[in-house]
Amino acid sequence: MTIARRDLILSAAALAIGAGSAAAFGATRPDRKLGYAIVGLGSYGLDVIIPQFANCTHSRLAAVVSGDPVKARRVAAAHGLPASGIYSYETFDSIRDNPDVDIVYVCLPNALHAAYTIRAAKAGKHVLCEKPMAVSVAECEAMIAACKAANRKLMIGYRCHFEAYNLEAMRLARTGAAGKIRYVRSEHGFVQRDPAKWRLKRALSGGGSLMDMGIYSLQAARYMIGEEPIAVTARESTDRRDPRFTEVEDMLDWTLEFPSGAMAGCQSMYSANQNRILLMGDAGRIELEPATRYDGNQMWVGKDGRERAVLPPGGPGKTQFAGQLDHLATCVSSGREPIVSGEEGLRDMRIVEAIYRSAREGRTIRLDGRA
Amino acid sequence: MTIARRDLILSAAALAIGAGSAAAFGATRPDRKLGYAIVGLGSYGLDVIIPQFANCTHSRLAAVVSGDPVKARRVAAAHGLPASGIYSYETFDSIRDNPDVDIVYVCLPNALHAAYTIRAAKAGKHVLCEKPMAVSVAECEAMIAACKAANRKLMIGYRCHFEAYNLEAMRLARTGAAGKIRYVRSEHGFVQRDPAKWRLKRALSGGGSLMDMGIYSLQAARYMIGEEPIAVTARESTDRRDPRFTEVEDMLDWTLEFPSGAMAGCQSMYSANQNRILLMGDAGRIELEPATRYDGNQMWVGKDGRERAVLPPGGPGKTQFAGQLDHLATCVSSGREPIVSGEEGLRDMRIVEAIYRSAREGRTIRLDGRA
């Protein structure tokens, strides 16, 4: 009586799983791998990013920056770094004298992104900065100006632009696999349980779920539709009596309008688990769920409930993390601009400010300068 | 490498598929089945509703009302109705003299609901009226007043209140199967291809996708959360150059806020197919897709991508159509109020007017009288 909604059909391409996709990023092959300094040895820098250098072709770990000297020495030792590759936040600026470091990757809480990006640029280093780029438009503009003044590259850690399923969904959308895309739905959230987390402290995070998972919802709406939104309308719901949410928002729901008439319905929250992107077209749909996880993402393409599981050509390929690390390395080597530059982070931050303003003022905020 | 997201687990209850669920509606057993007159022999009345009397315990077809005498005679003959059970719109008011008709079921275009409901009440008949109840709050109020003055029952054709999956999802939500419900997502749409359809003519429909599939999105948000919304924020996107959309809207996206802090994100459209309800709680989720179809609905319950397909206890049971026909019949026999009364239709219509107003004015509209 009940039929599994989604047939699992593995394409022939699935046989190619594991094939590297570095070529997709137009990599040049420099004589040496570029050296990264990881700023911030929290769980993301330490557990997610640093292990990924093993999957990189053009990048290697060259230094660590931490407020915890014991942890810094332990990580350095584990990865064969010399003592000259260990920095504290106090000694960070002396990284200018370390020729082994080409790129500084800022993995700090949001409110510290601007300061460390600017210090890195002033130290003559290229910068990869985690998303959200910063906590205000003004900070983003200062970061772009600092990198420009130092003639250094600035890239934002929008890893989904290097994630095989998201790339394939973008390609399918552009080539009309679902017809004309009319609506994109993007939902990201998780149950944030620990009231002590820095992400719940406004001084460090700059905001709640929007500044965390919400950035994925916003980014996905933009890269899936492939246009810039012209208006945003947002609503917030937060239980301020909940000890987790005394400083930042729990839940935001927002609509983006695009020049073609397409709309996006986005959502972020800290009180339920959700990770999904859906593209609705007039001839079918493309669905990713989970959509933007570190791994294990899945995609379905089809129409009217008869959707096929689809694997990207070549399979999941190189990890998204190694992809972004190597992308900036090859951009530095070749002089090209990163596909997710500081300007891209600034675009999101302008919309983030408009989302908060719309929710606060209870009205639609235009993004195209019209009244 | 890829795992089907949703395991299909048929519960033991599945073995009970087909068991009737009339008892759930607290049916009394009158000596005779109550007689329905179907007003409007369009595809819904003719192809969807009339065949369902075969599944009814307390209801039977007693008369038809149509502007097409040939069609009316054909349908009457096919169902063994006497010539006295055939009405035109001109002769409709004489139905007061037909003791074989207890209930009039209005299956006409939206803009005719009020007139025929009021005429039926004045003819001394109880009324089942299709949704949306009417095209304005004022019409809804007039319909309620007319039925009250005539001491007749008024029920709105919200069939999902008799649909086993939706009922089970409501029960699961209320009993905490997904924890505290924080967000409900409800998406309903289809590709409306024929520009000649009455649903695209404002004089008959009163509006576009909101007055069609959007009513399902709105209703689901309310019955799944089990509260009345206090604010609505809506946006519309319609290509007015598209010949289908010269008079009515294509796409609406709206957020509802509820007293508990739960939110609902709803959507309706005429340019992509979608039929889905998702309840997100802090301990899991309940998903229906398709959610509100005539049949073939499905439900998944679980968390974090490991969801189980769930069948309602007793299986899909009696059809939702027979369920609603028999519900009103038993309400009439027992003197009880229908669970989806005219007041319920009026509540939706107040929100519908607020959705249109919010989209038009670009601001949040309060529904609770606050500024």
Neighbouring CB atoms inside 10 A of A305's CB total 17
Total domains in chain A come to 2
CB pair distance less than 8 Å for A274 and B280: yes
Per-residue pLDDT tens digits for B148-184: 999 999 999 999 999 999 999 999 999 999 999 999 9
B2 contacts on A by Cβ (under 8 Å): 8, 10, 14, 298, 309, 311
Phi, psi angles (nearest 5°) of residue A37: -105, 125
Burial class (CB in 10 A: 0-12, 13-18, 19+), B149: exposed
Confidence of residue B317 (pLDDT cuts 50, 70, 90): low
- Predicted ipTM beyond 0.95: no
Query: Which of B239, B257, B281 has the CB atom closest to A261's CB atom?
Result: B239
- Residues A221/A264, Cβ–Cβ less than 8 Å: yes
Q: Is the pLDDT of residue A227 over 70?
A: yes
A289 contacts on B by Cβ (under 8 Å): 5, 305
Q: Mean pLDDT across the stretch A28-55?
A: 90
B6 contacts on A by Cβ (under 8 Å): 4-6
Query: Which of B182, B269, B284 has the CB atom closest to A269's CB atom?
Result: B182
Domain boundary residue among A141, A156, A171?
A: A156
| A48 and A60 housed in the same domain | yes
Residue A16 lies in a domain: no
With CA atoms as reference, the chain B residue closest to A289 would be B305
Question: Which segments of chain B does DSSP mark as H helices, in order?
Answer: 43, 69-78, 113-122, 137-149, 164-174, 202-205, 214-225, 320-334, 342-361
Rounded Cα gap, residues B253 and B233, in angstroms:
8
Catalytic residue among A216, A223, A270, A356: A216
Amino acid code (one letter) for B151: N
Distances from the Cα of B171 to the Cαs of A261, B167, B224, B241, B306, in angstroms? Answer: 38, 6, 9, 44, 21
CB pairs < 8 Å spanning A and B:
150
For residue B335, the 8-state DSSP code is T
Question: Which segments of B288-319 does DSSP mark as H helices, in order?
Answer: none
Q: How far is A369 from chain B (nearest CA, A)?
A: 15
Per-residue pLDDT tens digits for B78-110: 999 999 999 999 999 999 999 999 999 999 999
CB pair distance less than 8 Å for A182 and B267: no
| B271 and B204 housed in the same domain | yes
Rounded Cα gap, residues A339 and A158, in angstroms:
10
CB pair distance less than 8 Å for B180 and A298: no
- Residues A363/B362, Cβ–Cβ less than 8 Å: yes
- Best mutation target, A180, A232, A364, A368, to test chain B (most B CBs within 10 A): A364
Residue B332 lies in a domain: no
CB pair distance less than 8 Å for B269 and A183: yes
Interhelix angle for B214-225 vs B342-361, to 10°?
110
Per-residue pLDDT tens digits for B26-59: 344 445 899 999 999 999 999 999 999 999 999 9
Per-residue pLDDT tens digits for B179-200: 999 999 999 999 999 999 999 9
Query: Which of A251, A269, A315 has the CB atom closest to B1's CB atom?
Result: A315
* Per-residue pLDDT, B261: 96
- pLDDT cut 90: percent of chain B above it: 87
- Best mutation target, B280, B297, B298, B365, to test chain A (most A CBs within 10 A): B280
Rounded Cα gap, residues A347 and A288, in angstroms:
24
Q: Around B311, how many Cα atoms within 13 Å sit in the side-chain half-sphere? A: 22
Residues in chain A: 371
B233 contacts on A by Cβ (under 8 Å): 233, 235, 362
Three-class secondary structure assignment of A282-298: CCEEEEECCCCCCCCCC
Domain with B116, as residue range(s), is 32-156
* Per-residue pLDDT, B305: 64
| A172 and A311 housed in the same domain | yes
CB pair distance less than 8 Å for A182 and B17: no
Residues of B tagged active-site? 131, 216
* Per-residue pLDDT, A304: 67
For residue B336, the 8-state DSSP code is P
State the Cα torsion B220-B224-B228-B231 to the nearest 10°: -70
* Per-residue pLDDT, B23: 38
Residues in CB range of A138: below 8 A, 6 or more apart: none
Amino acid code (one letter) for B56: C
- Residues B181/B261, Cβ–Cβ less than 8 Å: no
With CA atoms as reference, the chain A residue closest to B359 would be A364
Q: Is the pLDDT of residue A19 over 90?
A: no
Angle at A270 between CA B210 and CA A273, to 5 degrees: 75
- pLDDT cut 70: percent of chain B above it: 91
- Residues A280/A178, Cβ–Cβ less than 8 Å: yes
Residue A322 lies in a domain: no
Confidence of residue A370 (pLDDT cuts 50, 70, 90): confident
CB pair distance less than 8 Å for B265 and A267: yes
Q: How far is A119 from chain B (nearest CA, A)?
A: 40
B294 contacts on A by Cβ (under 8 Å): none
SS3 state of residue B35: strand
With CA atoms as reference, the chain B residue closest to A288 would be B5
Distances from the Cα of A279 to the Cαs of A176, A271, A341, B234, B277, in angstroms? Answer: 11, 24, 25, 20, 16
Closest CA to B114 of B156, B85, B168: B156
Rounded Cα gap, residues B38 and B50, in angstroms:
8
B235 contacts on A by Cβ (under 8 Å): 231, 233, 255, 257, 263, 364
Let me know if A216 is a catalytic residue: yes
Query: Which of A14, A182, A183 has the CB atom closest to B1's CB atom?
Result: A14
Q: How far is A173 from chain B (nearest CA, A)?
A: 14
Rounded Cα gap, residues A257 and A184, in angstroms:
10
| A358 and A209 housed in the same domain | yes
Q: Is the pLDDT of residue B16 over 90?
A: no
Residues in CB range of B50: below 8 A, 6 or more apart: B38, B61, B75, B79
Q: How far is A304 from chain B (nearest CA, A)?
A: 7
Per-residue pLDDT tens digits for A296-345: 999 999 976 678 999 998 776 678 999 999 999 999 999 999 999 999 99
- Best mutation target, A17, A184, A237, to test chain B (most B CBs within 10 A): A237
- Residues A256/A266, Cβ–Cβ less than 8 Å: yes
Q: Mean pLDDT across the stretch A335-357?
A: 98
Q: Is the pLDDT of residue B214 over 70?
A: yes
Q: Is the pLDDT of residue B2 over 80?
A: no
The mean pLDDT of chain A is 91
* Per-residue pLDDT, B304: 67
The mean pLDDT of chain B is 91
B303 contacts on A by Cβ (under 8 Å): 273
Residue B326 lies in a domain: no
* Per-residue pLDDT, B303: 79
| B225 and B290 housed in the same domain | yes
Residue B173 lies in a domain: yes
| A283 and A353 housed in the same domain | yes
| A137 and A234 housed in the same domain | no
| B249 and B101 housed in the same domain | no
Q: Is the pLDDT of residue B282 over 90?
A: yes
Q: Is the pLDDT of residue A291 over 70?
A: yes
The CATH number that applies at residue B111 is 3.40.50.720
Residue A237 lies in a domain: yes
| A140 and A194 housed in the same domain | no
With CA atoms as reference, the chain B residue closest to A240 would be B261
Domain boundary residue among B156, B187, B206?
A: B156
Three-class secondary structure assignment of chain A: CCCCCEECCCCHHHHHCCCCCHHHHCCCCCCCCEEEEEECCCHHHHHHHHHHHHHCCCEEEEEEECCCHHHHHHHHHHCCCCHHHEECCCCHHHHHHCCCCCEEEECCCHHHHHHHHHHHHHCCCEEEECCCCCCCHHHHHHHHHHHHHCCCCEEECCHHHHCHHHHHHHHHHHCCECECEEEEEEEEECCCCCCCCHHHCHHHHCCCHHHCCHHHHHHHHHHHHCCCCCEEEEEEECCCCCHHHCCCCCEEEEEEECCCCCEEEEEEECCCCEEEEEEEECCEEEEECCCCCCCCCCEEEEECCEEEECCCCCCCCCCHHHHHHHHHHHHHHHCCCCCCEHHHHHHHHHHHHHHHHHHHHCECEECCCCC
Domain boundary residue among B135, B156, B177?
A: B156
Q: Which helix (H) or strand (E) holds B253?
A: strand B251-257
Task: Give the torsion sign (CA, A202, A192, A300, A47).
Answer: positive
Residue B19 lies in a domain: no
Rounded Cα gap, residues A127 and B18, in angstroms:
64
Q: How far is B364 from chain A (nearest CA, A)?
A: 5
Burial class (CB in 10 A: 0-12, 13-18, 19+), B91: exposed
With CA atoms as reference, the chain B residue closest to A258 would be B237
B4 contacts on A by Cβ (under 8 Å): 4, 6, 8, 309
CB pair distance less than 8 Å for B4 and A309: yes
Query: Which of A1, A17, A239 has the CB atom closest to B261's CB atom?
Result: A239
Q: How far is A20 from chain B (nearest CA, A)?
A: 16
Query: Which of B239, B282, B289 has the CB atom closest to A191's CB atom?
Result: B282
Query: Which of B2, B251, B364 has the CB atom closest to A182's CB atom?
Result: B251
Rounded Cα gap, residues A227 and A262, in angstroms:
9
A362 contacts on B by Cβ (under 8 Å): 233, 363-364
| B210 and B89 housed in the same domain | no
Rounded Cα gap, residues B158 and B338, in angstroms:
11
Query: Which of A271, A273, A284 has the CB atom closest to B304's CB atom?
Result: A273
Q: How far is B11 from chain A (nearest CA, A)?
A: 11
With CA atoms as reference, the chain A residue closest to B11 would be A2
Q: Is the pLDDT of residue B1 over 80?
A: no
Per-residue pLDDT tens digits for A229-254: 999 999 999 999 999 999 999 999 99
CB pair distance less than 8 Å for B255 and A272: no
A237 contacts on B by Cβ (under 8 Å): 182, 257, 261-263
Residue A285 lies in a domain: yes
Q: Is the pLDDT of residue B127 over 90?
A: yes
Rounded Cα gap, residues B248 and B352, in angstroms:
14
SS3 state of residue B292: coil
The CATH number that applies at residue A168 is 3.30.360.10
B269 contacts on A by Cβ (under 8 Å): 182-183, 280
Rounded Cα gap, residues A140 and B38, in angstroms:
64
| B145 and B165 housed in the same domain | no
| A356 and A210 housed in the same domain | yes
* Per-residue pLDDT, A209: 98
CB pair distance less than 8 Å for A282 and B305: no
Q: Is the pLDDT of residue A24 over 80?
A: no
